[in-house]
Chains A and B, each alone.
Chain A
């Protein structure tokens, strides 16, 4: 019987050294897209215990619900209740994304140069979909000086070059 080994898209890449902040690779995490059907947000919110508004992050037991676009949230974590399918579509996005953590006093200033939206207004915690030199990115703010940058797996090398 075949056995398949996992391969990380970023484990072998050399991370750049940055002034005033550190960049590190985030470990893989289960990511599930949750897209509520029309009129189902409230039902979904009740079942999940919360649902993020645009730009928001809702922290649940073991799972973060992250706003990820129009009518779309990403659940970061394993603990999702059953019975969601009646209210939303769900797809496994875990392997599609690679994440970096950027932390330090200079993190916001560095990221602000690269992102075409006003990082000053970004809540903490907060979420934003944006682009970085034509690369689609999902930016999460975990703390005032800590960000996560999630990029498509196939583009991770280009993303590192741009960071």
Chain B
């Protein structure tokens, strides 16, 4: 193969591009794909096959390519399974063959091909049965090393990718004659049209067909239409764009190659993952030419006839001496046209009787073999009872055409068999709002493509309520398409069906013999159609061979299920913008900047970033800081930003009624200016969340949630309001973001407030009141999550940063300071207060010892369900405290608990540890745990076993309230 001196509609011959393949420096031309440039450089061998490591070359010129998958180096990493037919050439492109060692020409694993008699379908299911333990340790690693499609890069993917949305009236998928005609008709009617084409150039087969439209070459007509579409403001042309999935509601998954063809894309996204919502869609994806299964049909140099034509016309690739093996009129016509254009076609072979009017030799016969170690040298054919060998560089196959209808099947619609073209065609309305036109619908002539494209556009416009202007159909051929199906040549030797996964006709026949006669079973047993090309060139052939082997019909055998994605898509693009810091939104409190200035390491809580602790130079480690901060609260005063707690405003005449409905306890009896601890259940009776409920005024409540469950509680309350009490006069809204709120806790909390407010309001425990701070309206709550006398002070968020700064300064002046999450955790464990470590979604109020909070006087969400058998009683895991028998012996959260005299086996499990901390107040490790019948077992000793960390120690079950059990410190 070589480059022709003239031609090549896709090429800009003025610009040469240097690239390398397998370390070989080569030169291509701007406009080339990697595949076309390799062919033009005579590089027919581009890779090794999946299982047998057979030499493989380029077969097609499109996204259906099963063979020419290579590794491309970019962005400091290599990317496997890049289809050379889809990778545009750019200066400096580095690519290499995959599945071979040490080189693609001398691949030692090619020995597999000699072992092929033992490596048929399902061989490893049968061969590697014994001994059982060898599978994971030995067999599978060996098989993975010997077979496979590329290697995964081990580095992080940090090249930019993008996600985007688009909406349109009409999405036209494919820009061949049918797609262009549909887009033109719809665009002229003023509809918003998106025309997506996976190739760099629009025009589809018009770019390489020899036919005329309106008396001009098809490519010229296409260029004229595209020029008109480009000028219309209601049209978006999207080349390099593959529509890979059809989903509910007219949503299509679409991948646009944005920077993959650039030599230095910089921060340009490599790809953009679009979600396009279209009111109507027209599928004009054309058809895929199918190969013929004859012996040794996988040799480099064996290509599809359409691909040979495409490389000839678009990329000026001269395929050398060509033998064409076809079974249809289109193949013969194409061969004649190519010969007339100067291609060296040595012979045309067809099992049908053909007229001898061609400018090349014709044979009524079949190809029964090929030769050539790393590339085709000759073709052996059988005709008139004789075998003839023809010297050839290229064998061009054309077994007919399969409509490219995959997208139409993405909602589980099944196509129907059309015996006239020996192919499956789509039914109407397989995807709501989508029409299939042209070759994708089995209408193979250009005339039919244009006509069905225009008709579908008119129908879509009518659906959209638009009138369609008269768009005359161009004059064009309407040649009939005739073929005699030929799925496999009966001859000795292996004939490939699925090139990408190395599946032969024998494998399919064997599957049928062994009982895998359903097409879905055959697929999984042989792996046919399960490679990156998803069997685009093999599905039809395989099911035809299966039908033959089982004595059934192709229509009766049916197809496998076509699922998204239509073409391989990169995970990096699907996850665009969703990794690193962008994995989830980051939420920062108003005190964030000050907290960072104080050197606090931040931890994520929900989406919030909260300080873990505030280090000082004298701290040996984090625990020193934690101990110090804990003791601030126990002995002086500590300040903590608690703005992250969910804050929900509930107002209205029926607000109290609503709160009684969603809380287990009664809120309607709460007096204005008072706060009550509350518990909320899910509808299934398990605890959803806990928090406080403050009555700010008669019809105005402010409830708080835990940080982690704020969103869940808001959603729950919205649901209850909308589903169960939509006619009640109340409304709720989140005010979390509007307020900055700080805990001020410790015996000197009042002293700090005195500095701040002048007069400290005389608030009882669980009281609340409005306060004014230098003219700023705030709210003061006397509540405590530490067990000490404490307050929470809230101000509008714009003042949060300054208030925090001043609170910390005041606290430090009183011998205290800021405290972080570690100290907060110690403080609450000392008091036995629960968080979502304990409220893990499986516990009931009974389990937490809070059954007394479920009012007997009223109903509430979840109450009935919480009374089901099994949700209370001695068999439940109940909240307890834990202390190690040796108080200084570390205990760990997540550890399991067992009787001291039993082994650490699930059978003997007594429960698990939910939270632990070291208490500087009590000079002991403390834990909270959920233990079977735990409340009745205080004083009992269990064995704590943390298999993950290798820790084992004896612990004593006790009351979960370790400090100040009667609550005097926070109440008085």
Roughly how many angstroms separate A93 CA and B407 CA in the complex, as a whole number? 46
Q: Find out whether the CB atom of B731 lies under 8 angstroms from the CB atom of A88.
A: yes
Shortest CB-to-CB span from A48 to chain B, Å, is 16
Find residues 754-788 in chain B having any chain A CB closer than 8 Å to their own CB. Answer: 756-758, 773-774, 776
Find residues 562-601 in chain B having any chain A CB closer than 8 Å to their own CB. Answer: 577-578, 581-582, 584-590
The 30 listed contacts between A and B (C-beta, < 8 Å) are A1-B758, A2-B756, A4-B773, A5-B799, A7-B590, A9-B590, A33-B733, A35-B731, A89-B731, A91-B735, A92-B735, A93-B733, A93-B738, A95-B796, A95-B797, A95-B798, A96-B735, A96-B797, A114-B165, A116-B275, A117-B167, A118-B277, A135-B585, A152-B737, A154-B588, A155-B586, A155-B587, A157-B588, A158-B582, A162-B577
Q: Of A2, A72, A96, A112, which is within 8 A of B167 by CB?
A: A112
Shortest CB-to-CB span from B894 to chain A, Å, is 29
Q: Find out whether the CB atom of B799 lies under 8 angstroms from the CB atom of A158.
A: no
B190 at the interface (CB under 8 A from A): no
Residues on A with C-beta less than 8 A from B192 are: 120
Interface residue SS majority, chain A: mixed
Roughly how many angstroms separate A37 CA and B586 CA in the complex, as a whole number? 34
Q: Find out whether the CB atom of A8 lies under 8 angstroms from the CB atom of B798.
A: yes
Roughly how many angstroms separate A133 CA and B607 CA in the complex, as a whole number? 14
Q: Find out whether the CB atom of A89 lies under 8 angstroms from the CB atom of B774.
A: no
B113 at the interface (CB under 8 A from A): no
B802 at the interface (CB under 8 A from A): yes
Residues on A with C-beta less than 8 A from B652 are: 37, 89
User: What mask results when residues 144 to 163 of chain A are scored 1 for a CB within 8 Å of chain B, else 0?
Assistant: 00000000111101110110
Q: Of A2, A38, A135, A159, which is within 8 A of B774 by CB?
A: A2
Roughly how many angstroms separate A75 CA and B587 CA in the complex, as a whole number? 25
Residues on A with C-beta less than 8 A from B651 are: 35, 89-91
Q: Of B166, B653, B735, B799, which is within 8 A of A6 by CB?
A: B799
Residues on B with C-beta less than 8 A from A70 are: 722
B879 at the interface (CB under 8 A from A): no
Roughly how many angstroms separate A153 CA and B798 CA in the complex, as a whole number? 10
Nearest residue (CB) in A for B594 is A7
Residues on B with C-beta less than 8 A from A116 are: 165, 275
Residues on A with C-beta less than 8 A from B730 are: 37, 89
Residues on A with C-beta less than 8 A from B800 are: 7
Contacts A89-B731, A135-B585 supplied; 12 other A-B pairs, CB < 8 Å: A5-B799, A7-B590, A7-B802, A89-B733, A93-B738, A96-B738, A96-B797, A97-B737, A115-B165, A116-B165, A153-B737, A159-B585
Residues on B with C-beta less than 8 A from A49 are: none
Residues on B with C-beta less than 8 A from A14 are: none
Roughly how many angstroms separate A115 CA and B774 CA in the complex, as a whole number? 42
Residues on B with C-beta less than 8 A from A94 are: 738, 796
Q: Of B585, B649, B738, which is within 8 A of A95 by CB?
A: B738
Q: Of B277, B729, B795, which is within 8 A of A37 by CB?
A: B729
A45 at the interface (CB under 8 A from B): no
Using a CB–CB distance below 8 Å, which chain B residues touch chain A? 163-167, 192, 275, 277, 577-578, 581-582, 584-590, 607-608, 649, 651-653, 722, 726-733, 735-739, 756-758, 773-774, 776, 795-803, 806
* Top 4 A-B residue pairs of the complex, sorted by shortest distance between their CB atoms: A96-B737, A89-B651, A35-B731, A95-B797
Q: Find out whether the CB atom of B164 lies under 8 angstroms from the CB atom of A91.
A: no
Find residues 78-119 in chain A having any chain B CB closer than 8 Å to their own CB. Answer: 88-97, 112-119
Q: Find out whether the CB atom of B275 lies under 8 angstroms from the CB atom of A154.
A: no
Shortest CB-to-CB span from A74 to chain B, Å, is 10
Roughly how many angstroms separate A100 CA and B328 CA in the complex, as a whole number? 63
Nearest residue (CB) in B for A88 is B731
Residues on A with C-beta less than 8 A from B722 are: 70
Q: Which of B582, B652, B731 has the most CB of A within 10 A?
A: B731
Roughly how many angstroms separate A5 CA and B805 CA in the complex, as a whole number? 11
Q: Which of A3, A8, A28, A89 has the most CB of B within 10 A?
A: A89
User: What mask results when residues 1 to 39 of chain A are scored 1 for a CB within 8 Å of chain B, else 0?
Assistant: 111111111000000000000000000100001011110
Roughly how many angstroms separate A37 CA and B608 CA in the complex, as a whole number? 33
Shortest CB-to-CB span from A77 to chain B, Å, is 17
Q: Find out whether the CB atom of B649 lies under 8 angstroms from the CB atom of A91.
A: yes
